[in-house]
């Protein structure tokens, strides 16, 4: 009876562990190096998932523990190890994932059958070995499936290229947008500004990889669309070039360059080179719009037709003045010599710079200043990007949880300084900053300590540099620093803040499930 129970329990553990590893592999973009880096960050969970069921099984088989006791101990130990909170981005059973699971099942069955035929007494050992080797087997399965996956990807990309080529003959215009940060906001702002005059399609959500762009073209682009606004993300050199080779943009926007994804890029020079792959892909009769407030961009010397935006005196679309409050922003822009005043409900200086980038491209594509003023006033915040949520009781929340970077972190903290309220920062810090991760998080924590009244850090290990910076502050009340394990644990702290003043809470960044 207990042999059957053990078999069921072992199969459940195997399935849960495989599902967990596949989920992480998908979040790590099916990249071996990123999955390996995640494994190095998660030794405790991997050890628990691997060892606990095997140890209990061995103790039972060798009668060191009675079978029922070992089974109960196994359940008590393994369930917390494999149980996770509801995933922020659950595993999606795509065709690729399903192919990998089928390939894995074939390998598992073959090994167990061959072991059973030629070395039956080692069958249990073989099953245990397969379980222990699951983290590595994921790589083997991915390698086996690589030729098929490449062929499938190639067919999809070629199909998208053919479709775009046909539509460009009918007048479709493609605008590419890239940058270390701000590209998603600029994409949605530009789409809104253009939509009064053109039928516009933009890549949805965070579809900014070559395959995400390909999927959008194949499934959503149709003959009625006049402009395709394409967000281009990158984690490695040539990522932007691969997308440009698919869509061949006539216009490009580079929103920013900074120390984002340094773990995979390796250096800021590689980031600059990758972002300017868009610049170099723009044809001679096209235009590229550059953020002249960014030193990496401003100092780049190329031969394309370019227009600058920002506060910089040399910008073609220059931000001349900006007034911000907790209820919105008012700003004036010099548009190639003509001054226009804009108002928006959006808050935060880098939101205004993103709007300015969109204004630059929309004006060049034929939208009048009068229409731009009208449409800017109606812009809505992009979800999870300095999004001011409706007030509940004393508490207002600025949701800036989508992502974070050093400039954005500082800008978001500065934004809450405009609120006459108790200022609370909630953050897990910034990631993927390579060797500079401690330094840049420490600097962010130091600045936050100067502005905020309360700081709640999510994650005890990840936020160590922030903790160090805040505790080193001579002005911040250290009793107002809290470190919690999960985001939802912030609420008792926020709700217990004394007094009757309003409270503004900045949610800065939210780490994905693989952190």
Q: What is the pLDDT of residues 72-109, one digit of tens each?
A: 666 665 565 555 556 778 899 999 999 999 999 999 99
CA angle in degrees (0–180, nearest 5) for 180-443-177: 10
183 and 260 inside one domain: yes
Task: Evaluate whether residue 515 is within a structural domain.
Answer: no
Q: What is the CATH number of the domain that holds 404?
A: 3.90.190.20
320 and 418 inside one domain: no
267 and 339 inside one domain: yes
205 and 336 inside one domain: yes
25 and 135 inside one domain: yes
Q: What domain range is 248 assigned to?
A: 170-377
Q: What are phi and psi of 90, to 5 degrees?
A: -65, 160
Under a CB-based contact definition with an 8 Å cutoff, are residues 482 and 455 in contact?
yes
Q: Tell how far CA 496 is from the center of its chain.
A: 32
Task: Evaluate whether residue 243 is within a structural domain.
Answer: yes
Task: Evaluate whether residue 286 is within a structural domain.
Answer: yes
Per-residue pLDDT of the chain (515 residues; tens, 9 = 90+): 556 766 777 777 788 889 989 999 998 889 998 899 888 887 777 776 766 666 766 665 666 666 566 666 666 655 655 555 567 788 999 999 999 999 999 999 999 888 888 877 777 677 778 888 899 999 999 999 999 999 999 999 999 999 999 999 999 999 999 999 899 999 999 999 999 999 999 999 888 999 999 999 999 999 999 999 999 999 899 999 999 999 999 999 999 998 877 878 889 999 999 999 999 999 999 999 999 999 999 888 788 999 999 999 999 999 999 998 878 999 999 998 889 999 999 998 989 999 999 999 999 999 999 999 999 999 998 888 889 998 899 999 999 988 788 988 999 999 999 899 999 999 999 988 888 899 999 999 999 999 999 999 999 888 999 999 999 999 999 999 999 998 999 999 999 999 999 999 999 998 766 55
304 and 438 inside one domain: no
Task: Evaluate whether residue 159 is within a structural domain.
Answer: no
Which residue intervals of 319-405 are DSSP H helices? Answer: 349-364, 369-377
pTM of the predicted protein model:
0.86
Among 194, 186, 334, smallest CA distance to 252 is for 186
420 and 373 inside one domain: no
Helix (H) / strand (E) containing 173: strand 173-178
Among 486, 481, 459, smallest CA distance to 470 is for 481
Residue 483's pLDDT is what? 97
Task: Evaluate whether residue 254 is within a structural domain.
Answer: yes
pLDDT per residue as tens digits for the range 392-420: 999 999 999 887 889 889 999 999 998 99
Query: In Å, how far are 43, 93, 190, 209, 351 from 23, measured between CA atoms?
Result: 17, 9, 34, 18, 33
Task: Evaluate whether residue 155 is within a structural domain.
Answer: no
355 and 496 inside one domain: no
301 and 255 inside one domain: yes
298 and 404 inside one domain: no
First to last CA, the chain: 40
Q: What is the CATH number of the domain that holds 252?
A: 3.40.1190.10
The residue among 328, 353, 377 that closes a domain is: 377
Among 329, 336, 327, smallest CA distance to 369 is for 336
The residue among 354, 377, 400 that closes a domain is: 377
Using CA atoms, how far apart are residues 88 and 505, in angstroms rounded to an integer? Answer: 21
369 and 221 inside one domain: yes
Task: Evaluate whether residue 157 is within a structural domain.
Answer: no
Residue the block writes with tokens 């800017």: 376
Count of the separate structural domains present in the chain: 3
| Residues forming a β-bridge with 174 | 228
89 and 193 inside one domain: no
The residue among 148, 183, 216 that closes a domain is: 148
């Amino acid at each position: 009876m207990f042999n059957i129970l053990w078999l069921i329990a072992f199969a459940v553990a195997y399935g849960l562990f495989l599902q967990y590893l596949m989920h992480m592999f998908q979040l790590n973009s099916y990249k071996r190096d990123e999955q390996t880096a995640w494994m190095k960050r998660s030794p405790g969970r991997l050890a628990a998932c691997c060892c606990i069921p095997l140890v209990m099984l061995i103790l039972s088989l060798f009668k060191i523990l009675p079978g029922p006791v070992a089974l109960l101990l196994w359940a008590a130990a393994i369930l917390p190890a494999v149980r996770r909170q509801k995933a922020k981005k659950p595993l999606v059973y795509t065709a690729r994932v399903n192919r990998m699971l089928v390939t894995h099942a074939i390998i598992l069955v073959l090994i167990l059958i061959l072991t059973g035929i030629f070395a039956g007494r080692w069958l249990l050992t073989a099953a245990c070995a397969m379980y222990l080797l699951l983290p590595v087997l994921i790589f083997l399965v991915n390698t086996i499936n690589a030729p098929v996956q490449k062929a499938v990807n190639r067919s999809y990309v070629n199909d998208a290229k053919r479709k775009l080529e046909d539509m460009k003959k009918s007048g479709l215009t493609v605008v590419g947008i890239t940058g270390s940060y701000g590209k998603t906001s600029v994409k949605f702002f530009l789409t809104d500004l253009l939509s009064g005059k053109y039928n516009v399609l933009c890549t949805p959500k965070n579809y900014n990889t070559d395959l995400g762009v390909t999927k959008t073209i194949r499934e959503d682009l149709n003959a009625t669309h006049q402009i395709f606004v394409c967000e281009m993300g990158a984690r490695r050199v040539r990522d932007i070039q691969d997308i440009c080779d698919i869509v061949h943009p006539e216009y490009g926007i580079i929103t920013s360059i900074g120390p984002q994804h340094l773990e995979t890029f390796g250096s800021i020079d590689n980031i600059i080179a990758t972002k300017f792959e868009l610049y170099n892909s723009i044809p001679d009769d096209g235009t590229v719009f550059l953020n002249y407030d960014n030193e990496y961009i401003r100092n780049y010397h190329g031969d394309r037709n370019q227009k600058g935006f920002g506060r910089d005196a040399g910008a073609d679309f220059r931000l001349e003045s900006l007034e911000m409050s907790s209820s919105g922003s008012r700003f004036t822009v010099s548009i190639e010599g003509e001054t226009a005043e804009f108002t928006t409900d959006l808050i935060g200086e880098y939101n205004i710079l993103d709007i300015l980038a969109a204004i630059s491209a929309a004006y060049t594509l034929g939208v009048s200043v009068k229409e731009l003023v009208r449409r800017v006033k109606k812009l809505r915040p992009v979800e999870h990007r300095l999004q001011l949520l409706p007030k509940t009781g004393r508490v207002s929340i600025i949701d800036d949880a989508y992502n974070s970077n050093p400039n954005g972190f500082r800008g978001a903290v500065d934004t809450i300084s405009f609120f006459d309220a108790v200022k609370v920062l909630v953050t897990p810090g910034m990631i993927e900053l390579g060797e500079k991760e401690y330094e840049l998080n420490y600097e962010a924590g130091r600045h936050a300590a100067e502005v905020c009244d309360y700081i709640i850090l999510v994650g005890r290990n990840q936020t160590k540099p922030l903790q160090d910076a805040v505790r080193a502050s001579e002005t911040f009340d250290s009793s107002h620093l809290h470190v919690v394990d999960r985001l939802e644990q912030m609420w008792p702290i926020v709700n217990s803040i004394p007094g009757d003043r309003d409270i503004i809470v900045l949610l800065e960044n939210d780490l994905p499930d693989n952190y």
